[in-house]
Amino acid sequence: MLVPRLERLHLVPSLAEEGTLQAEEVARRILGFGPFSDEPACLKGQDARRMISERFAFYEKDRPAFRDWLSGKIGVWLDYICMPQRPLSLEDEREFQRSLAALDSLVQSSTLVALRDSGDDYPVRGWCASEFFLASAHSFARNLFIDTGRLERAEEVAVAQAPAPSGMGIADAAKIMIDSYEHDLAAFREASDRWSSFEGPLIASLPPDPWAAYRDLQGSSFFAAEFDPSPLRLVLEAIRNMETMLIEKWLMSDKQGLFDPGKETESFFQRLGLRCALRSDMIYLGFLLACHGWIDAFKPLFRECLRRYLETTTGHQIENGQDSTPSLNVILKPLEQDVRSLFSEVKPSSAATWWSRLSTGPSRDSHERAVVEQVSAALKEKPLEFTFMNIDDSQLAQSTKNA
């Protein structure tokens, strides 16, 4: 991106090859373009571009020295290798716990690149799907994935047309998908052509963004779950189910509720087919994911769950065959009646409807919009109340029943 057209094409003849397309997107982000350009974890875009351009000019006759300088500014984090693994010493344990506590911020400040094989089980592996979601910040655009088979064979990226979506008339579905596919394919080709045709260094202008168009070709807007190529799908469902359950059990209920977040998390993971080798990992990931859900009012609860989990679960317990997490029993205190009554004013008055309204916003109906805004304001003004209990389930159930 820093060299004129002919030199650029000598280095990278085409963006359509698997791996090259993704590398171009990484380069865009290093230069401060794309979805990470304003993140606090990296230099602001203009500062990065100026610093790199100046150093590139300084090393005009010594490109290896420039590459050495640039590589020294880039960190690579490989999740398994860069965290201590069992068996853990006491110092390893402390580092492992610190890593777990900061995993979400670490992943979110990086460009995640997932190495995948065709037909792999990546979307149902709890750790993989969770890290992919955390790095996405709710956007499929931010993550990169590489088909390792195509990469090894130096093949072009796959842009095959997606299967027709379910839940629509076949004719309508086919037309929507074909129109969308042709639009996105044209955008991908246009971005690739820009790489080949622009005469000057691309850093002097806005470089092409073929990854955005390619991602849209793989988009999941109309896909049935079994055809969805996005590793986010099951994780999205797990978070949505958890938040919907809490809306029904907490926000819309006039009774004090009993909640075992670890048990509920495990249940949702198992129901959706998200797999973890260890139950403790499943619960940790569930808490971490819920901290990054759509409904802000629930996040303090899950942050506290995560903190308590990390304080009470150690790698030593797991090594000794005790893959069990102490129960985190929570009493959920009901909302005030005047706030709770608002939930009946949106039709249909269901937890699923309210999840949609609180997570993605109200419909165009003015009355409904006003009600949702009232509820959102009330939840922000007075945070939800909950209490952790240190008694066993039978005592807790009895105390809740009595209350």
Q: Are 112 and 144 in contact (CB under 8 A)?
A: yes
Does the pLDDT value for residue 99 go beyond 80?
Answer: yes
For residue 167, the model assigns a pLDDT of: 54
Distance from C-alpha of 242 to C-alpha of 268, rounded to nearest angstrom: 8
Q: Which of 156, 191, 224 is the last residue of a domain?
A: 224
Residue 129: inside a domain, yes or no? yes
Q: What is the pLDDT of residues 20-73, one digit of tens each?
A: 999 999 999 888 887 766 555 456 778 889 999 999 999 999 999 999 999 998
The residue with tokens 């003849």 is: 13
Distance from C-alpha of 38 to C-alpha of 341, rounded to nearest angstrom: 41
Residue numbers of the domain that contains 214: 5-75+111-224
Residue 101: inside a domain, yes or no? no
State the chain's mean pLDDT as an integer: 85
Residues 187 and 54 reside in one and the same domain: yes
pLDDT band at 324 (very low <50, low <70, confident <90, very high): low
Give backbone dihedrals phi and psi of 227, rounded to 5 degrees, phi first.
-110, 0
Does the pLDDT value for residue 323 go beyond 60?
Answer: no
Residues 346 and 204 reside in one and the same domain: no
Select the more confidently predicted residue: 160 or 143: 143
Cβ–Cβ contacts within 10 Å for residue 357, how many? 21
Percent of the chain with pLDDT over 70: 84
Residues 263 and 370 reside in one and the same domain: yes
Q: What is the pLDDT of residues 341-373, one digit of tens each?
A: 999 999 899 999 999 999 987 777 888 999 999
For residue 97, the model assigns a pLDDT of: 87
Distance from C-alpha of 355 to C-alpha of 146, rounded to nearest angstrom: 34
Under DSSP, the state recorded for 156 is B
Residues 299 and 391 reside in one and the same domain: yes
Q: In what order do the strands lie in the sheet with 386-389?
A: 257-259, 329-332, 386-389
pLDDT band at 154 (very low <50, low <70, confident <90, very high): very high
Residues 382 and 288 reside in one and the same domain: yes
Q: What is the pLDDT of residues 174-226, one digit of tens each?
A: 777 778 888 888 999 999 999 999 999 999 888 999 998 888 877 645 554 44
Residue 32: inside a domain, yes or no? yes
Distance from C-alpha of 219 to C-alpha of 227, rounded to nearest angstrom: 11
Does the pLDDT value for residue 239 go beyond 80?
Answer: yes
For residue 394, the model assigns a pLDDT of: 47
Residues 260 and 205 reside in one and the same domain: no
Residues 199 and 273 reside in one and the same domain: no
Domain count, the chain: 2
For residue 30, the model assigns a pLDDT of: 87
Q: Which of 180, 195, 224 is the last residue of a domain?
A: 224
Residues 211 and 242 reside in one and the same domain: no
Average pLDDT value for residue range 87-113? 88
Residue 378: inside a domain, yes or no? yes
Residue 142: inside a domain, yes or no? yes
Q: Which of 224, 247, 269 is the last residue of a domain?
A: 224
Region of residue 85 (phi > 0: left; psi between -120 and 50: alpha; otherwise: beta) = beta
Does the pLDDT value for residue 119 go beyond 60?
Answer: yes
Residues 249 and 394 reside in one and the same domain: yes
Q: Are 164 and 177 in contact (CB under 8 A)?
A: yes
Residue 106: inside a domain, yes or no? no
Residue 242 CB partners (closer than 8 Å, separation 6+): 264, 265, 268, 286, 290, 293
Residue 35: inside a domain, yes or no? yes
Residues 157 and 205 reside in one and the same domain: yes
Residues 30 and 173 reside in one and the same domain: yes
Distance from C-alpha of 156 to C-alpha of 154, rounded to nearest angstrom: 7
Distance from C-alpha of 294 to C-alpha of 340, rounded to nearest angstrom: 20
The residue with tokens 């899950």 is: 302
Q: Are 244 and 352 in contact (CB under 8 A)?
A: yes
Residue 307: inside a domain, yes or no? yes
Average pLDDT value for residue range 137-154? 86
Distance from C-alpha of 179 to C-alpha of 168, rounded to nearest angstrom: 15
For residue 360, the model assigns a pLDDT of: 82
Report whether the peptide linkage leading into residue 87 is cis, meaning its omega lies within 30 degrees of zero: yes
Least confident of 37-41, 43-47, 127-131, 263-267: 37-41
Residues 196 and 294 reside in one and the same domain: no
Q: Are 148 and 117 in contact (CB under 8 A)?
A: yes
Q: Are 71 and 27 in contact (CB under 8 A)?
A: no
pTM: 0.84
Distance from C-alpha of 217 to C-alpha of 240, rounded to nearest angstrom: 25
Percent of the chain with pLDDT over 90: 51
Does the pLDDT value for residue 398 go beyond 60?
Answer: no
Does the pLDDT value for residue 395 go beyond 60?
Answer: no
